[in-house]
Structure 1
Amino acid sequence: MSAVDTSTPSAVLPKAVPLTPGRVSWQREALALVVGFALLALLPLVITDSYSRHVLIMIFIYGVVASNWDLSLGYGGVFNFGHLALFGIGVYAYSLLTKLAEMNPWIALVVSGLIAVVAAVAVTVPILRLKGIYIILVTFGFAQLVMQVILSQSDYTGGTQGIVRIPTVTWFDHNMVRDAKFAYFYIALAMLGASTVFLRALVRSRTGISIVALRDNEEYAVSRGISLARQRLITLAASAFFTGIAGAFYAAYQRNASIEVFGMSLATIILSMVLLGGTSTIYGAIIASFVLTVFSESMADFGAWRPIITALLIIVVMLVYPSGIMGMLKSASRWMTRSRNG
């Protein structure tokens, strides 16, 4: 008697199904990231005037702050309206460390990021078990508290006058002040690149998956063993590090610290970038920082009409594509794919 053939015909073998349909492999994403930042690195060869480079540097700073806010707001679902306070803490931490403590500016950049993380942990403790409007109130109150502390310690922080002539970063004997912002451009670009790689690696990891699971279905995620307190702490602490470094670099670049960094004007701009770009993408906030900043600068001659026109642009995009610019790009990509396939 012949042996029974127990092999399964290839026609009935189950097809491999991706765990997350539509998700780009990390190899392709890494390649796209390298190409994208390589192209950005070539911009100073084309853009030689200092003002245009200044605009690009501010875009990179905004991109870091907005993309890190997207981690807590978009992926974590935590309405952390104290995020800009972390940026302000980075500004003043760097200013005090370099001007009063005379710390090396490069070390002060990293230490400022760590101080922002400590501040994020401090504000996370009261909101571990809170939801919705209560998180907004506590985090907004935290931002106001930090601002009042800075105002009250005017002997060190300058109060409403701020701090001026802050030591900047140096690169051996290179004069960074007179190189048409060439060096500052690459430092800001490196900061944006490091922040983006960190954020994307985090959201693609098991930790990132658990953060999203808590956002989408908190009760079910907790029942499966995910710690709400631990993941919320990780989310806010992770979003604080590069935000603090961005604030420190902002202080080093502008060479002054002002209480205006805690104002609603800057918070509105950064939040607009997060929403316009599309939440839960990281890349959307960075792209939106380019779009909004360049669009706003191009309308400088419109005076008081400039913020109105910018607001109308945001409203129109959000009405047509609630998922923002990234949703628009994904729709365009799907349309082009269907067109090629017939």
Structure 2
Amino acid sequence: MSMGVGIGRREITGMVVGAVVLALLPMVVQDSYYRHLLIMVFIYGIVASSWDLSLGYAGIFNFGHMALFGIGLYTYGLATTLLGISPWIALLAGGVLAALAAALISLPILRLKGIYVVLVTFAFGQLVVQLIISQSDYTGGNQGLVRIPSFHIPGHNLMRDHKLGFYYIALILLCCSTVFLRLMVRSRLGLAIRALRDNEEYATSRGISISRQRLITMAGSAVFTGLAGAFYGAYFRNASTDVFGASLTTLLLSMVLLGGISTIYGSLLAALLLTIFSEMIAGLGAWRPIVIGVLIILVMLAYPGGLYGAIAAAARALRRLGRRQASP
């Protein structure tokens, strides 16, 4: 039995329990460094799970996703430094402009497939980078923006509470993002985009509009990606073109693949494991990405469905075992 727009009661219960556990976690984890790691897990989880919506569920080979993150970041930086807009309003503006940019990029790829979608979305990311560099008087160019204003809560200093305030803001964004994405994929829209992914000819013959679904999907995957980018700017108080680089793009894409395509939760789990594991092997230096790459390959070979698929398979095996033991 399901509730709302298709999210089951069991899933809602799991969401609530997970949110409560994460909300109480700072009582145990009081060290600023570990809280910083968790904040990065939340940011990466938002971006990776949003990418899974367009890449996994819709089957759109969108390689301009990190450009949407960068648009949210620079929107926040420019709005707060040049225009003097409130950081909270600038945060929302980052999500709105990222969604508008995603809707814009969806127009030239409405009728494209495969490698052509990759090329167009990749070119879009490069265009955004070049635009930022060319407008160095405002964006700082290759040097980036520094000393960006951060959030302000009356009577509370977010910079002196061992990152507790940033932790809860990031957690709220993560919870809202996860609920939003799950509502989308469990709705009739989710069924439509999966139908287009699996059999485009049959889906269009049943009246599903490719243009409409792609535009909504791209915009939906961009909203919280832009919000995460804006939060990233407020948290680190700087913005640079490094966020468009291959290193961060590869890391986020690895989280989507390792967690499991078309799962949402898999990306969140992979964000947690990869972020922590990457810190654990930081002493390996240049060998670190190689080790991570080998790990991802091994997991994908053993479990093509990713970590979430492996966990789901283990859960099904345990249920079957339980039913066998219960039967006479």
Deviation at 1:303, TM superposition (A): 2.0
The aligned counterpart of 1:125 is 107
**DSSP-derived class of the 2:220 partner:** helix
1:321 aligns with 2:303: yes
1:157 aligns with 2:125: no
1:57 aligns with 2:49: no
The aligned counterpart of 2:279 is 297
Q: How does 1:1-342 map to 2 (within 5 A)?
A: 26-342=8-324
> 4+ runs of 1 displaced by more than 4 Å?
none
TM-score (norm 2): 0.96
**DSSP-derived class of the 2:107 partner:** helix
Deviations 1:228-276 (A, max 9, x none): 0000000000001100000000000000001101111100000000000
Q: How many residues align?
A: 321
Q: Which amino acid aligns with 1:164?
A: V
**DSSP-derived class of the 2:223 partner:** helix
What is the rounded CA distance, in whole Å, between the counterparts of 1:35 and 1:326 in structure 2? Answer: 18
The aligned counterpart of 1:8 is none
What is the rounded CA distance, in whole Å, between the counterparts of 2:191 and 2:7 in structure 1? Answer: 15
Deviations 1:197-238 (A, max 9, x none): 000001111111111111010000000000000000000000
What is the rounded CA distance, in whole Å, between the counterparts of 1:303 and 1:205 in structure 2? Answer: 44
- What's the Cα RMSD here? 1.2
Percent identity for Structure 1 against Structure 2: 61
Distance 1:262 1:209, change over 3 A: same
Deviation at 1:288, TM superposition (A): 0.3
Mark the runs of 5 or more structure 2 residues left unpaired by the alignment: none
Residues 43 and 232, structure 2, Cα contact 8 Å, conserved in 1: yes
Deviation at 1:334, TM superposition (A): 1.0
**Bigger Cα Rg:** 1
Q: Which amino acid aligns with 1:157?
A: T
Mark the runs of 5 or more structure 1 residues left unpaired by the alignment: 1-17
Residues 7 and 182, structure 2, Cα contact 8 Å, conserved in 1: no
TM-score (norm 1): 0.92
Q: Which amino acid aligns with 2:278?
A: S
**DSSP-derived class of the 2:108 partner:** helix
Deviation at 1:304, TM superposition (A): 2.1
What is the rounded CA distance, in whole Å, between the counterparts of 2:88 and 2:30 in structure 1? Answer: 26
Residues 7 and 183, structure 2, Cα contact 8 Å, conserved in 1: no
What is the rounded CA distance, in whole Å, between the counterparts of 1:222 and 1:52 in structure 2? Answer: 49
Residues 142 and 241, structure 2, Cα contact 8 Å, conserved in 1: yes
What is the rounded CA distance, in whole Å, between the counterparts of 2:14 and 2:29 in structure 1? Answer: 23
